[in-house]
């Protein structure tokens, strides 16, 4: 689940930070698509990870992608946390939407046995 979600999300976020100075809608859309896909394909014994992992993966992808924009004034750690807070605030609707959809997917999968 982590590789399926973190790889594409971090890659598109990194491209987005190189092209513009922030994270646009495309990285958030990629995050939602790969997280929901992972929730559909994950093994039944790991269904809880489909709800717990996406917010952590989103935060990790932000930290990985924020490297190019952290070269500004101040310390790297301070800039990383400031960037993380900013992008989490901006991406919160996508994060909530994705987590809720993943929760619905695992509830349906748990009830139907698929």
44 contact partners, CB below 8 Å, separation of at least 6: 109, 110, 113
Question: pTM higher than 0.75, yes or no?
Answer: yes
87-113 pLDDT, tens digit each:
888 888 999 999 999 999 999 998 887
Query: Do 103 and 40 contact (CB within 8 A), yes or no?
Result: no
61-96 pLDDT, tens digit each:
888 887 655 555 666 777 778 878 888 888 889 999
pLDDT recorded at residue 83: 78
């Amino acid at each position: 689940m982590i590789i399926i979600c973190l790889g594409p999300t971090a890659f598109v976020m990194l491209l987005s930070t190189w092209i513009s100075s922030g994270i646009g809608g495309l990285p958030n859309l990629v995050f939602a698509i790969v997280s929901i896909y992972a929730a559909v394909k994950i093994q039944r014994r790991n269904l809880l990870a489909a709800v717990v992992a996406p917010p952590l993966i989103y935060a990790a992808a932000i930290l990985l992608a924020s490297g190019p924009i952290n070269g500004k004034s101040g310390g790297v750690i301070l800039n990383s946390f400031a960037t993380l807070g900013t992008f989490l605030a901006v991406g919160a609707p996508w994060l909530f939407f994705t987590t809720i959809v993943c929760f619905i997917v695992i509830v349906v999968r748990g009830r139907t046995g698929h």
